[in-house]
Amino acid sequence: MPFPPLPKEDLEHVFAHTRPLWEQLRGGRIFVTGATGFFGIWLLESFAYANEELGLGAELVGLTRNPGTFHSKAPHLVNHPSIRLLQGDVLNFDFPEGSFTHVLHSIVPDPGMPLPEMENWFQQGTQRLLDLAFRSKSQSFLLCSTGAVYQPQGRLLREDDPLIDPDAQLSYGRIRRQVEDQCLEGCERHGIALKIARGFAFAGPYLPLDANFAIGNFIRDAMQGEPIKVKDGTPYRSYLYAADLAIWLWTILFKGEAGRPYNVGSDQEITIADLAHTVATTLGGHVAPPPPSTLNVNSPSRYVPDVSRIQKELGLAPAIKLSDSLQRTALWMRQ
């Protein structure tokens, strides 16, 4: 069954907060990796909306390993005149004809990919994408990075906090930190403005409900009328709605300072246990009692960003509350 388009109110929200920025893309051309992923779909749909509203005459080429997934996720975009899909893996895709004014790098690995394979995939794939940007003499290169690059701090994470040591034991965070360094070095050498968005946790349409995302699993349980199951309720997380995410990514691409990373996420922290109860209250249902072993609150983990930099420098702040995020996500999922 095909997925519905994104809610018009969400696309209008993105457009209203980015409208002055789109002139930079008039007659331009964007290349996007991860086109069928959570970030990718929101980028494609919001681009198509702005392109039509403003008559930008811009084009977007989206790289995807599986066009069939795109057909099932977003059939309304398959034949969109301003969007073209390119089938291939980031490791070895064929360079399209022509050049690109902007490149957006938003790939994510397959779940369960072994770390050594993931390291190679990220490094070689990123280099392939950098080569495309270098050949195109692109204006800007947006790297969608992650808060996993930070060393744990036990408080809100700031952009100037220590990062994972590049010589530390191989981990997802170390790999993503290496990708940032790779992009910084390559873009500086070739005179391309590198923009870095360090993403945290999100909610919204297209978020997987059967992956390792607590909020997605809780929404699924509530919608199916099942008890909301909490494995460990002590960690602190925060959730930015995907329409706000799209606003922040486009703003960083068009307006962010080159080489200066920006945290992307909400600073309104909530424990996983409280999140489960919020989902139950908002969408209906109840929370299953957690096992006694999960009730240790002596040293809970905290993965929440400080977003004061992006607020002060780019004028951005979370606009959509968590309860509204849950309602909008569930309504779209039910369709």
CB-count exposure of residue 91 (10 Å: 0-12, 13-18, 19+): middle
Q: What's the pLDDT score for residue 300?
A: 81
Q: What's the pLDDT score for residue 306?
A: 98
Q: How far apart are CA 120 and CA 117, in angstroms?
A: 5
Q: Is the pLDDT of residue 315 over 60?
A: yes
Q: What's the pLDDT score for residue 307?
A: 98
pLDDT over 90 percentage in the chain? 83
Q: How far apart are CA 125 and CA 103, in angstroms?
A: 13
Q: Is the pLDDT of residue 280 over 70?
A: yes
* pLDDT digit string, tens, across residues 197-251: 999 999 999 998 888 889 999 999 999 999 999 989 999 999 999 999 999 999 9
In a domain, 57, yes or no: yes
In a domain, 41, yes or no: yes
Q: How far apart are CA 164 and CA 172, in angstroms?
A: 10
CB-count exposure of residue 46 (10 Å: 0-12, 13-18, 19+): buried
Q: Which residue has the higher pLDDT, 108 or 238?
A: 238
Catalogue the E-assigned strands of 275-335. none
How much is the average pLDDT of 122-133?
Answer: 97
Q: Is the pLDDT of residue 78 over 90?
A: no
In a domain, 1, yes or no: no
In a domain, 287, yes or no: no
Q: Is the pLDDT of residue 19 over 80?
A: yes
Q: How far apart are CA 306 and CA 159, in angstroms?
A: 8
Q: Is the pLDDT of residue 294 over 60?
A: no
In a domain, 189, yes or no: yes
**Of 58-67, 137-146, 266-275, where does mean pLDDT reach its minimum?**
58-67
Q: Is the pLDDT of residue 253 over 80?
A: yes
pTM of the full structure: 0.96
In a domain, 150, yes or no: yes
Residue 192 binned pLDDT confidence (cut-offs 50, 70, 90): very high
Q: What's the pLDDT score for residue 3?
A: 82
User: What is the CATH classification number for the domain harbouring 23?
Assistant: 3.40.50.720
Mean pLDDT across the chain: 94
How much is the average pLDDT of 90-104?
Answer: 96
Q: What's the pLDDT score for residue 36?
A: 87
Segments forming the whole domain that contains residue 151: 8-202+239-266+303-320
C-alpha Rg value of the chain to the nearest Å = 19
pLDDT over 70 percentage in the chain? 97
| Nearest CA-CA partner of 243 in 271, 264, 263 | 264
Question: What is the H or E stretch that residue 14 is in?
Answer: helix 8-18
39: three-class secondary structure by DSSP? helix
In a domain, 21, yes or no: yes
Domain tally for the chain?
Answer: 1
Residue 292 binned pLDDT confidence (cut-offs 50, 70, 90): low
In a domain, 233, yes or no: no
Give the length of the chain: 335
